[in-house]
Amino acid sequence: MNQVTKIAIGSDHGGYELKNVIINYLKERLYIYKDFGCFDSQPVHYPDYALKVGKAIVNEEYQLGILICGTGIGMSIAANKIKGIRAALCHDTFSARMAKEHNNANVLTMGGRVIGRGLALEILQVWLGTEFSQESRHIIRLKKVEDIYEQY
């Protein structure tokens, strides 16, 4: 992944610890990122952070996003409500690669209470290092997904 790619990152309290591990990874590799919160382990509402990260991507302030909650499910659901966001919940490296290569996922969601730090970093590395394939079948499918926003 190009080092000029800007990454928006956010979590709720369930993903707070893992978010900090990921931030350290991004810092060490000189990625440009912004932490949209939360900033401690006090209970908060995950949709607030999904919206902040999603808006930053849709407004083209950031190209990619990472969202972490307890399971990753809530963040994925909330982020995918935002037109232009393609959030993928990944708990393994194969899904992370396919999320980017086939689905051009611009947001990675993970569960801080579901996967360990080592696996989370492997998933992140694969997701960041994978490019969208640009194959016509995938472009057609993504266009069909975008059309759903227009219909409903």
Predicted local distance difference test score (pLDDT) of residue 77: 98
Show which residues are catalytic.
69, 102
- Count of Cβ atoms closer than 10 Å to residue 88 Cβ: 23
Listed by start position, the domains of the chain span 6-151
**Residue showing tokens 């935002």:** 82
- Count of Cβ atoms closer than 10 Å to residue 61 Cβ: 11
88 pLDDT band (50/70/90 cuts)? very high
Predicted local distance difference test score (pLDDT) of residue 70: 98
pTM: 0.96
4 pLDDT band (50/70/90 cuts)? confident
CATH class entry, domain 6-151: alpha beta
For 126, residues 6+ apart whose C-beta sits below 8 A from its C-beta are 93, 96, 97
